[in-house]
Chains A and B, each alone.
Chain A
C-alpha cells in the first residue's frame, strides 16, 4: 500500500509527520575496520633462497655432464665400429678402382697411340704424389 499506510503513526495529522525511515549504523556503531599493513616476516631468508636456486642449478648441470658422458660413450662406440671396418671397405674399393683404372689406361693408349711423345697414364701434377683422377666422374654408375 502507500507509505502512509505502512509507516503511519497513530495521531498523525499529515504525511509530513511520518516517522523517518533511514539506513544507518547498527546500535553501538560498526566494529572497527583494520587497515594497517601486516606483511609477515617469516619464511626463507635471501641467502636460503639463493642457495636453493644455486643447488638446483648445479644439480641440473651435473646431470647434464653425466648425460654428455653417456652420449660421448655411445658416439665413441659408433666411431670405433666404423674405424674397425674402414680398411676392409677401402681395400675393396681399391681393387675395384685398379680394375677400372687399367681399363681406362688401355682406352687412353688406344686413343692417343698416334700422338708422338705421349706417356699413357702420366700424372698431370708435378708433386710426385699420387692424386685420384680429377677428370669426369669417379663412379658414373653410382652418381
Chain B
C-alpha cells in the first residue's frame, strides 16, 4: 500500500485516512462543517458556497497534517489497519485505542 503521505509529507485525504481521523475531524472542524452545510441547505448551487468549502478543506487538511506530525507511528498503523480491513472500525480496535491515546481530542 502506498504511504499515507505524499512527497512533501502532507497526508493524502484518501478514504482510509479520512475515516481513520473522522472522529478528530468531527470534533475539531465542526464549526466549518456546520457553516458549509447551512450554506448548502440555503442554496445548493456550488458556486455560492465555494468560500465556505475552502474553509472546510483548509481546516481538514491542516488537521490531518497536524495529526500526522504529532503521532506519526500510531496514525500510520491505524491507517494501515483501516486499509487492510476496508474502513471497518470494529476490526481495528487495538490500533484505534493506541491512536486515540497518543493523540487525544483537544
Contact = CB atoms under 8 A, between A and B. Distances in A.
Given A88-B57, A90-B40, A130-B44, A95 B22 contact: no
Main secondary structure of the interface of B (DSSP, over half): helix
24 contacts: A80-B22, A80-B23, A80-B26, A81-B22, A81-B23, A84-B29, A85-B18, A85-B19, A85-B25, A85-B60, A87-B32, A87-B33, A87-B37, A87-B53, A88-B13, A88-B25, A88-B57, A88-B60, A90-B40, A91-B54, A92-B57, A93-B46, A94-B49, A98-B47
Q: How many B residues are at the interface, by size bracket?
A: 20 to 34
B89 A84 contact: no
A70 B80 CA distance: 25
Contact of A84 (B33, B49, B54, B90): B33
Contact of A91 (B22, B25, B26, B56): B56
A56 interface: no
Interface string A71-107: 0001001101111111110111111011001000000
A8 to B, nearest CB: 96
A87 B45 contact: no
Interface of A: 74, 77-78, 80-88, 90-95, 97-98, 101, 129-130
Contact of B46 (A80, A83, A88, A97): A97
A77 B89 contact: yes
Interface string B38-77: 0010011111011011101100100000000000000000
A95 B54 CA distance: 9
Nearest to B45: A130
B36 interface: yes
Given A74-B90, A81-B22, A95 B50 contact: yes
A91 B53 contact: yes
A91 B50 CA distance: 7
Given A74-B90, A98-B50, A84 B56 contact: no
B22 A84 contact: yes
B85 to A, nearest CB: 13
Interface in B1-37: 13, 18-19, 22-23, 25-26, 29, 32-33, 36-37
